[in-house]
Amino acid sequence: MRKSISGAVTVALWASLLQVSPGHAEDKSGAFQVASADVAVSLRPALRPSTQEYRVATEGNARFQAWLGAFRKRAVEQGISAGTLDRSLTGLTYDKDVIKRDRNQAEFSKPIWDYLDSAVSSKRIAGGRAGLDDYSQTLNKIEKKYGVEKEVVTAIWGLETSYGSFKGGDQTIRSLATLAFDARRAQFFEAQLVAALQIVEAGDVAPSNMVGSWAGAMGHTQFMPTSYLEHAVDFDRDGRRDIWADDPTDALASAASYLARHGWKKGQPWGVEVRLPEGFDYSQARRDYTLKPSQWARQGVVTPQGRAVPNHGKAAILLPAGGQGVALMVFDNFRVIEKYNSADAYVIGVGHLSDRLAGGAPFQGAWPRGDRVLSFTEKKELQTRLTEAGFDTQGVDGRTGPNTVNAVREYQLAQGLVPDGYPSLRLLERLR
């Protein structure tokens, strides 16, 4: 175990504390160097960290370096060569900003209508249509090979990186090492780190060019390393599965490959907007209750124009904002997009954007824009109060999954309310 921090790590540490990116001055050997002029500018008295801050950061990086030493042994046992480890881990430092973002993400809560305003904005629709035009031949070939509509692939590209305009600027290996060192999800992120090193070992990308989001998602379509190893393809046949290049060909084909392998059915919609009849039995609006569109039509569930939905297979009714919002009839392809990202808002965003790119209309129903969604803390309180009232949410995690929705619905039924399963602020106030 290394007993002290090297001078290069110390300089990088000071740069991190001062919010100076050491990556701007990385030499070819991977050791961080800072020019004397940079140091003179960076160490102004007003910006110099306190002795306490420096001590805490130094101790944290010392623990991180010790962890890296132990990890190297585990990586070698999994087949990673010493050369790849040297190229990838030399000079690596702990990224405190990654942990800060990881801790804060659970507090983020955005109404689905606000999310869709951005995800399916006029600007994003225009960008998607431009992408469809610019890469029409490539996207047509991808659709033919994988059976995934080009608009769906383009919509994923649009939501993940705004058509490649922002793929993330974090060093993937540094982010993953930081998250693997952290205790919260260490096992998951160490597996991702090993996968990232396997990608480097295969020669698909150099460590310095492996960049992406703070949580390790990479390239135009934001693949995690394990997903890359399992599903990325070399569609342009240049010998590398390059999802980072300016040319998005491999990334777009990889997204289509991912969806195809998870069961995408070409010609089946992800979902269709519907209108619910007066007196609709809201207890049927749940993902585990499916009927044929013709059966739903006999109950009065039709399109906003009053027509029966074509028979694309069995479907469920989804109410992403409760009984006061847009109602959707969702098919098996909804579950396939969930494999890419499990958040309902994301799936609806991809699906609706793909529909708009194909010439479809905006949603016709209204959203309850006057409502405020529950914060992370309020969701935990809701789960606690429901469970205490006899409606078990099967845990208190601040996330609105099927168990919480079912508990909400059972509570609503017991209280004589519309059982739409929607965890509203009004419901929480009633429980209080």
Q: What angle, rounded to 10 degrees, do the helices at 51-77 and 82-89 form?
A: 160
Of 149, 151, 160, 273, catalytic: 160
The token duo for 194 is: 């090993």
CA distance 419 to 406: 9
**Cβ–Cβ < 8 Å for 192, 225:** yes
CA distance 360 to 271: 12
CA distance 292 to 184: 43
**Cβ–Cβ < 8 Å for 98, 214:** yes
CA distance 364 to 327: 10
Residues 6+ apart with CB under 8 A from 143: 149, 150, 153, 256
Q: What angle, rounded to 10 degrees, do the helices at 122-134 and 344-357 form?
A: 60
Neighbours of 286 (CB within 10 A): 19
160 is annotated as an active-site residue: yes
- Closest by CA position to 220, among listed 291, 138, 301: 138
Name the DSSP letter for residue 373: P
Helices of type H across 219-279: 225-231, 249-261
Which are the catalytic amino acids? 160
